[in-house]
C-alpha cells in the first residue's frame, strides 16, 4: 500500500504553488495524497515568516501534531518554506518531534529526504542557499499529469521567479527567499501551453516582484525595457488561454511599457494588485520603497486612462515604526483617491534581521487596530459604491463553478475581478465566458442574469 502524505500550507500563493509542486513530485514518486490529516503517514508543513502571527500559527499547529506522533512513532513530520529557512536547526530544538527542516532553495530535495526518512530515521536540516537555475526549474513542471489540483479547475498558477532584491526595511523575504532569480521565458511559455492543453483558461503569474522579471537582479528597468511585458505579450498569443493575472508588481518596475502592455493585451485582466504599503512619503522613504505617493498615483492614473474599468487592490502596513496620525491620514487619502476594490491590511510586525527592527515597534497595538479598522471601513464604502454602480450593466465572466453559498447557483469573475453569482442554464460549462446582466448587488457580490 502506498504511504500517504498530507500538506498544510501557510502564507502566500507562492507557497500554495510550491506545495502543489511538492505534492505532484511526491505523487510521481509513488506516494498518495490525502486531505485527511490523521490518515497520513507523512505530515508536511509549508510555512511563512512574513509576520510573526504566521509563524506562531504554524508552530502552534506543529506542536499539536506531537500527540499524533506519540501514538504513531512511525509518522514522519517535516517543515519547509520560509520559517524553515529562517529558523533552521532552531526548529528541531523547539519542536523535537520534527524529522526534517527544508529551506526555500532546497524544496526540490523533499522527495529524496522523505525516502531517506523512510529508510532510516535521522534528523535532517537542509537550508543552505542554492542560487542555481536548476533549483528553480526543478520546482516547476510537476503540476501536469498530477492529481494535486482540483481536476475541474480552470485556473492555475505559474511561478516566474523566486526571491527579492529590494530589501524593504520591514520585510524578511529577501533574507529567507534569497536573491531574485527569474526562470527562462521559454520554460514558462512551455508550462503555460501544457496547462492550456489540459483545459486551464486562466493563469496567475507569481513572483515577489513580477515587474523585475528578467532584469537580472536590477532594481528597476532601464528606460522603456520590460521583459515582463514581453512575456505577457507572448503568453497573450496562446490559443485557448482566456485570461492572465499576476501578483505582485512593485510600483518601481511599473513603467510605461508595462502600463501599455496591460492596456493593450486582450487576455491580461483589468485588475492590478499594486502594493502601496503607505501613502506617506516620509514612511515610504523609511520603508525603502523607492517611490513617492505621487509616483504611485501617477501609475494608477495612467492605467485608468489607458485601460477603462481597471480596478486595483493593494497591500498596506499600518503602524510602521514612527507612523503618526498625519502619516496615516496620508495613507488614507491615497487609499480613497485610488478607490481600491480590495486591500490586505497588515499591522506592522517586527521581523528579526530586517533593518526596521532597529527602529523598535513604536506604534501601540490599539493605534494599529484603529488604523486597520478605519481602512477596512473605507474599503467597504468604496466597494459597495463600486458594486452599486454595476447595477443594470452588462458584464462578461469566466465561469468558475458552483457557488459555495448556494448549490443552485454558479459563479465567475469579471476581468476586473468582481465575483458575479448567477443561475446557470443546462448548456453552460465551467470555463465558458458568458455575458450577464447585473440585477442585484451586495457589498461583496454581484448577482447577474444570463444573457446568452
Ligand atoms: N509586518 C507587517 N506586514 C508585512 N508585510 C511584509 N512584511 C511585513 C511586516 N514585517 C506585508 C506587506 C507585503 C505583504 C505580503 O505582507 O504588505 O506586501
Ligand atoms: Fe518584501 Fe519589498 Fe521584496 Fe515585497 S518588494 S518581497 S515587500 S522586500
Decide if pLDDT at 131 tops 90: no
Q: Using pLDDT thresholds of 50, 70 and 90, give the confidence band for residue 146.
A: very low
For residue 125, what pLDDT is reported? 82
- Report which of 384, 424, 376 is spatially closest to residue 402, judged by C-alpha positions: 424
- Report which of 50, 43, 58, 120 is spatially closest to residue 91, judged by C-alpha positions: 58
Low-confidence winner among 251-265, 283-297, 399-413 (lowest mean pLDDT): 399-413
* Residue owning grid cell 483545459: 199
Evaluate: CB of 207 within 6 angstroms of ligand 2: no
Q: What is the pLDDT of residues 24-75, one digit of tens each?
A: 999 999 999 999 999 999 999 999 999 999 999 999 999 999 999 999 999 9
User: Domain boundaries in the chain?
Assistant: 4-126, 394-450
Q: Using pLDDT thresholds of 50, 70 and 90, give the confidence band for residue 445.
A: confident
Evaluate: CB of 250 within 6 angstroms of ligand 2: yes
Query: Looking at domain 394-450, what is its CATH homologous superfamily?
Result: Nucleic acid-binding proteins (2.40.50.140)
On the CB side of 391, CA atoms within 13 Å amount to 9
Mean pLDDT of 99-106: 91
Q: Among residues of the chain, what percentage have pLDDT more than 70?
A: 94
Pocket test for ligand 2, best of 209, 277, 291 (most atoms within 8 A of CB): 209
3-state DSSP call for residue 399?
strand
For residues 69 and 76, what is the distance between their CA atoms, to the nearest angstrom? 8
Ligand 1 pocket (Cβ < 6 Å) reads 50-51, 170-171, 275, 277, 315, 317, 346, 348-349, 351
For residues 380 and 361, what is the distance between their CA atoms, to the nearest angstrom? 28
Q: What is the pLDDT of residues 191-201, one digit of tens each?
A: 999 999 999 99
Q: Using pLDDT thresholds of 50, 70 and 90, give the confidence band for residue 444.
A: confident
- Tell me the DSSP string of 148-165: SS-TT--EEEEE-EE--S
What single DSSP character describes residue 95? S
User: Ligand 2 centroid to 449 CA: how many Å?
Assistant: 41
Yes or no: domain 4-126 corresponds to CATH 3.40.50.12160: yes
For residue 148, what pLDDT is reported? 62
Residue nearest to atom 2 of ligand 2 (CA): 168
Evaluate: CB of 178 within 6 angstroms of ligand 2: no
CB-based burial label for 153 (10 Å; 0-12, 13-18, 19+): middle
For residue 43, what pLDDT is reported? 97
The whole-chain average pLDDT of the chain stands at 93
| Same topology between domain 4-126 and domain 394-450 | no
Pocket test for ligand 2, best of 82, 164, 320 (most atoms within 8 A of CB): 164
For residues 274 and 293, what is the distance between their CA atoms, to the nearest angstrom? 12
Q: Among residues of the chain, what percentage have pLDDT more than 90?
A: 87
Low-confidence winner among 223-227, 293-297, 320-324, 336-340 (lowest mean pLDDT): 223-227
The answer to whether 396 and 422 have CB atoms below 8 angstroms apart is: no
Amino acid at each position: 500500500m502506498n504511504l500517504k502524505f498530507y500538506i498544510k500550507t501557510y502564507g502566500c500563493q507562492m507557497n500554495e504553488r510550491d506545495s502543489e509542486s511538492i505534492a505532484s513530485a511526491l505523487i510521481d514518486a509513488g506516494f498518495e495524497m490525502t486531505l485527511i490529516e490523521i490518515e497520513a503517514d507523512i505530515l508536511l508543513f509549508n510555512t511563512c515568516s512574513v509576520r510573526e502571527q504566521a509563524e506562531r500559527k504554524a508552530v502552534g499547529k506543529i506542536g499539536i501534531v506531537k500527540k499524533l506522533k506519540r501514538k504513531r512513532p512511525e509518522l514522519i513530520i517535516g517543515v519547509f518554506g520560509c520559517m524553515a529557512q529562517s529558523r533552521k536547526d532552531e526548529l528541531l530544538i523547539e519542536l523535537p518531534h520534527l524529522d526534517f527542516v527544508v529551506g526555500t532553495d532546497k524544496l526540490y530535495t523533499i522527495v529524496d529526504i522523505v525516502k531517506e526518512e523512510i529508510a532510516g530515521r535521522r534528523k535532517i536540516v537542509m537550508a543552505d542557499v542554492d542560487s542555481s537555475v536548476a533549483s528553480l526549474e526543478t520546482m516547476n513542471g510537476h503540476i501536469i499529469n498530477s492529481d494535486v489540483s482540483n481536476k475541474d479547475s480552470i485556473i492555475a498558477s505559474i511561478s516566474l521567479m523566486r526571491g527579492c532584491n529590494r530589501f524593504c526595511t520591514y520585510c524578511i523575504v529577501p533574507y529567507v527567499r534569497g536573491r531574485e532569480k527569474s526562470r527562462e521565458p521559454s520554460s514558462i511559455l512551455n508550462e503555460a501551453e501544457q496547462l492550456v492543453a489540459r483545459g486551464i483558461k486562466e493563469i496567475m503569474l507569481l513572483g515577489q516582484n513580477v515587474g523585475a522579471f528578467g532584469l537580472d537582479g536590477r532594481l528597476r528597468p532601464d528606460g522603456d525595457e520590460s521583459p515582463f511585458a514581453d512575456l505577457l505579450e507572448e503568453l497573450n498569443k496562446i490559443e485557448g488561454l482566456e485570461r492572465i493575472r499576476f501578483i505582485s508588481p512593485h510600483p518601481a518596475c511599473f513603467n510605461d511599457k508595462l502600463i501599455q502592455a496591460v492596456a493593450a493585451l486582450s487576455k491580461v485582466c483589468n485588475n492590478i494588485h499594486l502594493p502601496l504599503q503607505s501613502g506617506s512619503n516620509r514612511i515610504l522613504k523609511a520603508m525603502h520603497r523607492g517611490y513617492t505617493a505621487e509616483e504611485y498615483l501617477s501609475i494608477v492614473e495612467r492605467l485608468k486612462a489607458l485601460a477603462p474599468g481597471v480596478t486595483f487592490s493593494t497591500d498596506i502596513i499600518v503602524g510602521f515604526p514612527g507612523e503618526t496620525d498625519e502619516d496615516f491620514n496620508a495613507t488614507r487619502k491615497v487609499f480613497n483617491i485610488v478607490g481600491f476594490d480590495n486591500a490586505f491590511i497588515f499591522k506592522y510586525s517586527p521581523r528579526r534581521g530586517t533593518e526596521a527592527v532597529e527602529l523598535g515597534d513604536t506604534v501601540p497595538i490599539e493605534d494599529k487596530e484603529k488604523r486597520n479598522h478605519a481602512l477596512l471601513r473605507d474599503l467597504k464604502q468604496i466597494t459597495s459604491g463600486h458594486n452599486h454602480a454595476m447595477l443594470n450593466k452588462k458584464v462578461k465572466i469566466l465561469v468558475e463553478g458552483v457557488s459555495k453559498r448556494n448549490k443552485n447557483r454558479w459563479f465567475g469573475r469579471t476581468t476586473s475581478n468582481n465575483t458575479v453569482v448567477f443561475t446557470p442554464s443546462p448548456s453552460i460549462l465551467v470555463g465558458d465566458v458568458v455575458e450577464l446582466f447585473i440585477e442585484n448587488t451586495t457589498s461583496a457580490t454581484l448577482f447577474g442574469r444570463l444573457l446568452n
